[in-house]
């Protein structure tokens, strides 16, 4: 059976190793996963209760329009309900955008390295992918502008960027938006928005009225701790949302996910506490790196990219055998780095002690 030729060179997304597999492989009783930027503190107790309350409704299809969640999110981000689209994680919104706007006659522009699903989905649609290398971990926005032509339909800006944790400042994003032609959709992926502390991080939602070609992505997978339920959303002008909605699968977000997301928004203190703990956790890693003269990227996410000056798979394997799952930079475009999710204070201390022994 013949499949699309562009699928032949693609690999499926490779998530971090599952805890159960590592326990079995190395005969371990304790394994800590710091590979997928999950929230080490779980989710809000209110979300857990909302999940329990939905368990008697599992035989009923969810609301495909996500009406109750739509109303709650619109209020939370201060937009109209018609300016939202929901997905099975923000990953699916990326897929919807690509299905709606890309084809073999079009091209798309993005940084590299960045979140791999932009390129993955563009390749599936047969579009030309134009990549611009990061500069010191940051998007080279001027160079990205230079890659745009009349056949460009989507430009991706991941901020904070995965895997570097760097971000695009308010001034730089505004300058970029004024230069991008109106026929090009600028997708600003803010998956780690709730962790950001930088004072010059852009208020992207306030830019929507002036820039009709802007779309913002956010998720409940990270700070809200609902990664296993897979729910995220996009924000854009209502006309664009109407045009791309037909590319969304029916019933693409579950009843349980919708209920948990609503409850999560009703517990801002939980997210604020996670943000503060993440700040302290990043400080632990910064001090470790500075004490051992290791280069790293200051991060606005809940992860850190550290250069160990050796094959990252070697360091990854050493940690794996000790029961710590991280992300090897070889898969991320940084062959001597590791991307480590910020865990709890105890988890951070434990992995730092192992890394100290390894490095020294």
Nearest to 74 by CA among 236, 272, 250: 236
CB 155 within 8 A of CB 48: no
**Tens digits of pLDDT across the chain (360 residues):** 778 888 887 777 767 678 888 888 888 889 999 999 999 999 999 999 999 999 999 999 999 999 999 999 999 999 999 999 999 999 999 999 999 999 999 999 999 999 999 999 999 999 999 999 999 999 999 999 999 999 999 999 999 999 999 999 999 999 999 999 999 999 999 999 999 999 999 999 999 999 999 999 999 999 999 999 999 999 999 999 999 999 999 999 999 999 999 999 999 999 999 999 999 999 999 999 999 999 999 999 999 999 999 999 999 999 999 999 999 999 899 999 999 999 999 999 999 999 998 887
| 220 backbone φψ class: left, alpha, beta (φ>0; ψ -120 to 50) | alpha
Pairing label, strands 337-341, 327-328: antiparallel
- Long-range Cβ contact pairs of 168-174 (< 8 A, separation 24 or more): 168/138, 168/139, 168/141, 168/202, 169/198, 169/200, 169/201, 169/202, 170/200, 170/201, 170/202, 170/203, 171/200, 172/141, 173/202, 173/204, 173/207, 174/202, 174/207
Round to the nearest angstrom and report the end-to-end CA distance of the chain. Answer: 53
- What is the Cα gyration radius of the chain? 20
* Domains of the chain from N-terminus onward: 5-43+269-358 (3.90.1150.10), 45-266 (3.40.640.10)
Q: Residue 75, exposed/middle/buried by CB under 10 A (0-12, 13-18, 19+)?
A: exposed
Q: Residue 280, exposed/middle/buried by CB under 10 A (0-12, 13-18, 19+)?
A: exposed
DSSP 115: -
DSSP 138: B
What does the alpha-carbon distance between residue 6 and residue 77 come to, in Å, rounded to a whole number? Answer: 38
Output the CA–CA distances (angstroms, integers) from residue 124 to 11, 15, 20, 186, in the order listed: 11, 19, 32, 20
Nearest to 124 by CA among 136, 132, 135, 116: 116
Ordered strands of the 84-87 beta sheet = 84-87, 232-235, 214-219, 185-189, 152-158, 107-112, 128-133
């Amino acid at each position: 059976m013949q499949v699309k030729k562009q699928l032949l060179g693609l690999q499926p997304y490779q998530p971090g190793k599952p805890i159960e597999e590592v326990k079995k492989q190395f005969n371990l009783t304790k394994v800590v996963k710091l590979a997928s930027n999950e929230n080490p503190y779980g989710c809000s107790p209110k979300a857990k209760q909302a999940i329990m309350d939905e368990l008697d409704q599992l035989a009923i299809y969810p609301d495909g329009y996500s009406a109750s969640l739509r109303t709650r999110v619109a209020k939370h981000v201060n937009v109209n309900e018609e300016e939202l689209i929901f997905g099975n994680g923000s990953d699916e919104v990326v897929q919807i955008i690509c299905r709606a706007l890309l084809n073999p006659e079009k091209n798309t522009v993005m940084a590299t390295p960045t979140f791999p699903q932009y390129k993955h989905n563009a390749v599936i649609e047969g579009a030309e992918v134009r990549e611009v290398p990061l500069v010191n971990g940051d998007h080279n926005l001027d160079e990205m502008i230079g890659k745009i032509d009349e056949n460009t339909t989507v430009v991706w800006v991941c901020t904070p960027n995965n895997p570097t944790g760097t971000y695009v400042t308010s001034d730089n994003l505004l300058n970029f938006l004024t230069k991008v032609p109106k026929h090009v959709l600028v997708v600003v992926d803010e998956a780690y928005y709730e962790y950001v502390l930088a004072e010059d991080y852009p208020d992207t939602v306030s830019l929507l009225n002036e820039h009709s070609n802007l779309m913002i992505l956010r998720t409940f997978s990270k700070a809200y701790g609902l990664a296993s339920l897979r729910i995220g959303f996009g924000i854009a002008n209502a006309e664009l949302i109407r045009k791309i909605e037909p590319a969304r699968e029916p019933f693409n977000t579950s009843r349980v996910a919708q209920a948990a997301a609503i409850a999560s928004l009703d517990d801002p203190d939980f997210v604020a506490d996670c943000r503060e703990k993440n700040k302290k956790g990043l400080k632990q890693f910064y001090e470790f790196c500075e004490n051992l003269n290791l280069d790293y990227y200051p991060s606005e996410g809940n992860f850190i990219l550290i250069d160990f000056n050796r094959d990252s798979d070697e360091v990854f394997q050493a940690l794996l055998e000790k029961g710590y799952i991280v992300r090897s930079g070889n898969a991320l475009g940084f062959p001597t780095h590791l991307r480590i999710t910020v865990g709890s204070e105890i988890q951070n201390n434990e992995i730092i002690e192992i890394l100290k022994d390894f490095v020294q």
